[in-house]
């Protein structure tokens, strides 16, 4: 298995700097808040802790999925199904995966980033994220509130436009990585 953390060939250094700046700004903000108003600071820290304890089980689930994905899908398989030559099969596979995925989108980002490192196309990332808006498990509830016609048309448009938006994203991102 490649050591992706140390072998980035100089790529991603700007991302690391941006992350460090964001963390630094957050720490500075919280330090200022502590000085200005301790009670709001304490409420904020308590809310953060509450959110963190809610998210941790999902992050563990995503970690397990990432481990399984890395064990089952080698980079050559990922490139075959989700890489440059994946074609319509890759687009359909990714859209179905997006529709069937559950949980908050940000919990999928680490897995998607790993897949991208192994050759997943930007178009397919966009299709996956776009199709997450279609939730089969919530479809009956959507029909209850909005009716069959609206629910079907809206879901079909999301599905169709995910491919169009994916193409547009890929046009603007190819060669810019």
Does residue 177 have a pLDDT over 70? no
Whether 146 is covered by a domain: the verdict is yes
Mark whether 88 and 59 lie in a shared domain.
Answer: no
Are 51 and 130 in the same domain? no
Residue 4 forms part of a structural domain:
no
Domain membership flag for residue 2? no
**Domain around 66:** 13-72
Residues 119 and 41 in one domain: no
121-137 pLDDT tens trace: 899 999 999 999 998 87
User: With pLDDT > 90 as the criterion, what percentage of the chain qualifies?
Assistant: 33
The pTM assigned to this predicted structure is 0.60
Last residue of a domain, one of 72, 89, 122: 72
For the chain, what is the domain count?
2
Tens of pLDDT, residues 18-46: 778 988 998 999 899 899 999 999 998 89
Note whether 159 and 112 are same-domain residues.
yes
What is d(CA 134, CA 101) in angstroms, rounded to the nearest whole number?
A: 10
Q: Do 74 and 2 form a contact (C-beta atoms < 8 A)?
A: no
Helices (H), the chain: 13-36, 38-72, 75-82, 87-100, 109-117, 122-131, 139-146, 148-173
């Amino acid at each position: 298995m490649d050591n992706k953390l140390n072998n980035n060939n100089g790529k991603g250094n700007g991302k690391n700097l941006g992350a460090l700046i964001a963390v630094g700004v957050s720490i500075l903000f919280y330090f200022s808040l502590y000085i200005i108003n301790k009670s709001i600071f304490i409420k904020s820290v308590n809310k953060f802790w509450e959110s963190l304890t809610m998210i941790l089980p999902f992050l563990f689930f995503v970690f397990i999925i990432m481990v399984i994905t890395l064990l089952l899908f080698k980079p050559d398989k990922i490139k075959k199904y989700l890489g440059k030559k994946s074609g319509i099969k890759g687009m359909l596979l990714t859209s179905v995966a997006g529709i069937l995925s559950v949980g908050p989108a940000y919990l999928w980002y680490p897995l998607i980033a790993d897949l991208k490192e192994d050759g997943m196309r930007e178009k397919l990332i966009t299709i996956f994220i776009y199709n997450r808006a279609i939730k089969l498990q919530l479809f009956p509830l959507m029909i209850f509130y909005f009716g069959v016609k609206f629910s079907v048309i809206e879901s079909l448009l999301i599905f169709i436009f995910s491919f169009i938006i994916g193409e547009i994203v890929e046009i603007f991102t190819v060669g810019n990585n």
